[in-house]
Amino acid sequence: MFMNEKIMKNDEIEIDLGELFKVLKKNIFMIIAVTFLCAVIGLLSSVFLIDKKYSSEATIYITPKVTEQGTIDYNSIQTNSKMVNNYMEILKGETILAKVANQVGLDSFEEVQSALNITNPENTELISISAETTDPELSQQIVSLTVSTFTEDMMDILNLNNVTTINEAKVNTDPVSPSKTKFTILGFGIGLVISCGYVCITYLFDKRLRTRDEAENFLGIPVLATVPLKK
């Protein structure tokens, strides 16, 4: 009865941090090798396996009215601030983007919409319009045509001519994603977790008794004699 209780008690997993550290240290070269290999795989994946994306950006400004005295009309600034959100919704809408899609040769306005990112820096009347695709020229065309179509429609439909382009969209041949650094660090982290996890799990589920103390603790009886290893 006593023996069974002792064996059941020792079936629980006990972690000796000192011993675990020694096991990790013993397998340090394997850990380094696996971590380095995963980091290289992450780097190569970002270079050869994942499609590169290119971005282009333009900025438009909702210009306020100028009084006869040559000063800026404060009321028009307030009005423009309230209108910025309306302008952003128009820029994202099907009316504008369907025309852009037709001109760049895309099948639907949703494709243009998914590539576009339209933001408004806080407390400004600026609207930033950017596009990200796998083709640098297509990104530039989407942004340029979105701005020009929006400006023309505002003039034709609402008779508004207070939209000024601050920064023109350019063709950028440097990819914005994927990030080589990000994928390398990600691979490094995955490799470190996998290798250390493997060592820890192997250690925790290793039921072999290597020392006299381990045998006595597990069996609950003293060890009377030991047989040395034959050299």
Nearest to 129 by CA among 173, 179, 154, 166: 166
Two structure tokens written together for 141: 């065309």
pLDDT for res 179: 92
pLDDT for res 74: 63
Q: DSSP for 186-215, please give it.
A: HHHHHHHHHHHHHHHHHHHT-----SHHHH
pLDDT for res 10: 46
Radius of gyration from C-alpha coordinates of the chain? 33
DSSP state, residue 165: E
Q: How far apart are CA 198 and CA 190, in angstroms?
A: 12
Going along the chain from its start, the domains and CATH numbers come out as 54-167 (3.30.70)
Residue type, 80: N
Give 10-residue mean pLDDT values along the chain (231 residues). 43 67 92 96 93 95 69 65 86 93 94 95 89 96 95 80 89 93 96 94 78 70 70 54
pLDDT per residue as tens digits for the range 10-63: 445 556 788 888 889 999 999 999 999 999 999 999 999 999 999 999 999 888
pLDDT for res 231: 54
pLDDT for res 19: 80
pLDDT for res 70: 56
Q: DSSP for 101-156, please give it.
A: HHHHT-S-HHHHHHHEEEE--TTSSEEEEEEEES-HHHHHHHHHHHHHHHHHHHHH
